[in-house]
Structure 1
């Protein structure tokens, strides 16, 4: 085996050192800077992405706050409009109610007048009827015909008691 031959060791050590140094320079001057650059680029990209995400989050939080504020304003405005409409309708209902109450009061007054007129007419009719009945009763009891004036006086006297 030539590896174990001591006379071939110095050239092997020389070429080992040359190969090692060449590979060392290639790795240290070419491979490591490229890898470091890639790692540094990735780190910068990640930092940039995190900063952008933070900005987007802040913008989103701001937009959500503005949305909540405008939603609260809209609700407040809608509540105000609803209250105003409720008040307006209530006023209109009260106005109509008072108008109808007035109309009903007028109709009730007319009905009461009509009732009073009918009552007075009925009472007058009752008086006339009572006079006729009294005259008829006197005529049947006594056999003579009583005058309408005498019967009216008797009915008036009876009503006075």
Structure 2
């Protein structure tokens, strides 16, 4: 390739020197010598210039088409493949990020639902335990109240019995002192009636 480029450059440099090195004989050409088609010497030089121009253009075209343009095309193709690979990697990264965001949102929703369910279960369990403790406490209080009522009733019965006996004995002693004798059964019946009347009042 370097030899072809060097040869084309040498030919391109030599042709103008050859064309300009031989001055035309005779009288000078009016106007531009390059366009003097009718002049015998300048016409031949113009034809040789055109021929060499075509040859050099052909050589340059061959060199460009054979060596330079394929390299440029390969570079462009490599850049295109690299850009497509980068775009594909970017799309894959975006898809991966979208999947990660979706998984994170799903995990957050699951965690929130599990937390709400755990809170509801704990609240329900606490309410059930509180209700059970309240029921047990109420049952224990009812039992204690019933026992206290029984003790109070027994104490009242015992007190009434003692009061009845004391009242009967006192009344019997008073009646015996007043009239000299007393009927114990009649006194007890009178005391019972009086205590019953006071109890109803």
TM range (shorter): 0.5 to 0.7
| Richer in helix (by share) | 1
Q: Which has the higher contact order (CA 8 A, sep 6+)?
A: 2
Aligned 8 A contact 1:131 1:155 in 2: yes
Q: Distance in 2 between matches of 1:34 and 1:120?
A: 126
Matched, 1:156 2:192: yes
Displacement of 1:95 in angstroms is: 3.3
Provide Cα deviations, 1:78-123, integer angstroms capped at 9, x if missing partner: 4334433443443344334333322222221111101111122223
In the alignment, what sits opposite 1:126? Answer: 163
Larger Rg: 1 or 2? Answer: 2
Paired residues, what number? 144
Matched, 1:61 2:117: no
In the alignment, what sits opposite 2:131? Answer: 94
CA RMSD of aligned residues (A): 4.1
Matched, 1:50 2:87: yes
Matched, 1:117 2:154: yes
> Using a 3 Å threshold, how does the CA distance of structure 1 residues 40 and 90 change in structure 2: closer, same or farther?
same
TM-score, normalised with respect to structure 2: 0.50
Provide Cα deviations, 1:122-153, integer angstroms capped at 9, x if missing partner: 233333444566578x59xx788886947655
Q: Distance in 1 between matches of 2:162 and 2:19?
A: 158
Displacement of 1:53 in angstroms is: 0.7
TM-score, normalised with respect to structure 1: 0.59
Q: Distance in 2 between matches of 1:44 and 1:153?
A: 128
Aligned 8 A contact 1:135 1:151 in 2: yes
Aligned 8 A contact 1:131 1:148 in 2: no
- Could you list the runs of 5+ residues in structure 1 that have no partner in the other structure? 1-9
In the alignment, what sits opposite 1:11? Answer: 17
- Could you list the runs of 5+ residues in structure 2 that have no partner in the other structure? 1-15, 21-51
In the alignment, what sits opposite 2:48? Answer: none
